[in-house]
Amino acid sequence: MKELATLATTVVLLLLPTLLPRWLDTVPPLAGAPLHRLPETAVGGSVVRGTVARNQTIAALLSRTIQPSLVARLVAAARPAYDLARVTAGRPFDVSLGPDGLFRAFSYGIDALRTLRVVESDGRLVAEIETREYETRTSVVSGTVETSLFGAVEDAGEGDQLALDIADIFAWDVDFHTELQAGDRFRVLVEKQYLDGSMARYGRVLAAEFVRGERVLRAVQFASGDAAGYYDPSGRPLRKAFLRSPLRFTRISSRFSGARLHPILGVYRPHLGVDYAAPSGTPVQAAGDGVVVLAGWQGGYGRTVRLRHPNGYETLYGHLSQISVRTGQRVAQGQRIGAVGSTGLATGPHLDYRMTLFGRFVDPLRLKSPKAEPIDRSQRTAFEAESAELLARLAGSPGPRRAGK
């Protein structure tokens, strides 16, 4: 028995250098105790950087840099500030290591403005979110249309988002699918937001001008009450009851007609709407505020949404591939209600857009939307001052600056 005990003791002593570190890794450190030493491959007083891969967890993300027990402590310490279970693919992270190979800090870029930092302090992990702000600069951008608004904006050295913003501002007065012509001009006073000296995104368009031949459209942004909108220089809102089109950019493949050869049925019949050719999945927006009276299948229209609007108007959106609303739901002008498709009697993806007034079909392209009420008399002075300043800056002159601007 004595010989067996001696043999067992010898075996334990031989295995102890291997077993002890593994056992210690399973024991959470006490408050104030040193943090785990990193694997030898990570030692060197450096920073390990990377980006989150698709479907990657925080444990998998740090498995080659930090031991599992420390990852658990890291997640727990960060939770009051940010849940690391929600890491997003493509976001950056880094782990700072001391010259002794011990963990010092972890950073994760939540978004462009927020960074989670977890640092070691006297054996404890302390988490905080650092927030920075965009530097905003205003710029005047102008261009001339040759083929498209997108092309004109690109030729001016700007991004597609600015073209979308211009189209949104004048969406009630210009159909950018059918009315755009070579030689049309735009000019905008726009905020650009910078991070680290580089332009990160567009901010507000403060003032805009769009010239079509002899017709000059101008808009300034003004906050009336809790909401900001665009107004012409006289103080009348650009927003009207209906958008000129339920799609942002596309082309008309078939117009309102009393007799059109049906592409599938092969007979002449009225086409009491407008067809917009667009790729399947293109977002479809509500032409005006209203209530959904149908969100489902309707015969040859396929998947269809019908909206009831004030003053006897209804709009119909046919051949959709997807429906994003439900019957009885209230929707706002410009809200996504579905996506272009080819369901029902359709030869290809397009939107069949129709409008009725008290049950009778009307041509949406010829509709003259009623004008909205102008700026309230109580805000007239403030509007005129702000409008004069913005339009002067749009024209390239400093204009009268108001306090705080």
- Taking 70 as the threshold, does the pLDDT of residue 265 lie above it? no
Instruction: Look at residue 263 in the predicted model and tell me its pLDDT.
Output: 53
Answer yes or no: is pLDDT of 12 > 80: no
26-131: CATH topology: Nuclear Transport Factor 2; Chain: A, (3.10.450)
Residue 13 has pLDDT above 50, yes or no: no
> What are the pLDDT digits (tens) for 303-315?
999 999 988 899 9
Residue 405 is predicted with a pLDDT of: 44
Is the pLDDT reported for residue 31 higher than 70? no
Instruction: Name the band, by pLDDT with cuts 50, 70 and 90, for residue 121.
Output: confident
Full-prediction pTM beyond 0.85?
Answer: no
Is the Cβ–Cβ distance between 290 and 331 less than 8 Å? Answer: yes
Q: What is the pLDDT of residues 371-401, one digit of tens each?
A: 667 888 889 999 999 999 999 999 985 444 4
**Contact indicator for 288, 333 with CB cutoff of 8 Å:** yes
Convert the pLDDT of each residue in 202-239 to its tens digit. Answer: 999 999 999 988 899 999 999 876 668 899 999 999 88
Q: 251-366, what's its fold? A: Glucose Permease (Domain IIA) (2.70.70)
Q: Confidence class of residue 16 from pLDDT cuts 50, 70 and 90?
A: very low
DSSP codes joined into one string, 342-391: --SS-SSSEEEEEEEETTEEE-GGG--PPPPP---GGGHHHHHHHHHHHH
β-strand pairing of 185-195 with 198-212: antiparallel
**181, pLDDT greater than 70:** yes
**CA nearest 305: which of 352, 269, 260?**
352
- Residue intervals of the chain classified under CATH 2.70.70.10 are 251-366
Residue, of 225 and 154, whose pLDDT is higher: 154
- Band (pLDDT 50/70/90 cuts) for residue 21 is very low
The predicted pLDDT at position 252 comes to 64
Residues of the chain with CATH 3.10.450.350: 26-131, 134-240+373-405
Q: Calculate ∠ Cα 240-244-247, nearest 5°.
A: 125
Q: What is the pLDDT of residue 87?
A: 92
Nearest to 159 by CA among 200, 211, 194: 200
| Partners of 318 in the β-ladder | 352
| Secondary element (H or E) of residue 71 | helix 68-78
Give residue-wise pLDDT tens across range 323-342. 999 999 999 999 999 999 99
Summary mean pLDDT of the chain: 82
Q: Beta strands of 10-91 (E only): which ranges?
A: 47-51
- pLDDT on residue 46: 82
pLDDT band at 186 (very low <50, low <70, confident <90, very high): very high
Distance (Å, whole) CA 290 – CA 311 = 11
Whether CATH 3.20.20.80 fits 134-240+373-405: no
Contact predicate 129/81, CB 8 Å: yes
pLDDT computed for residue 65 by the predictor: 84
Confidence class for position 45, pLDDT limits 50, 70, 90: low
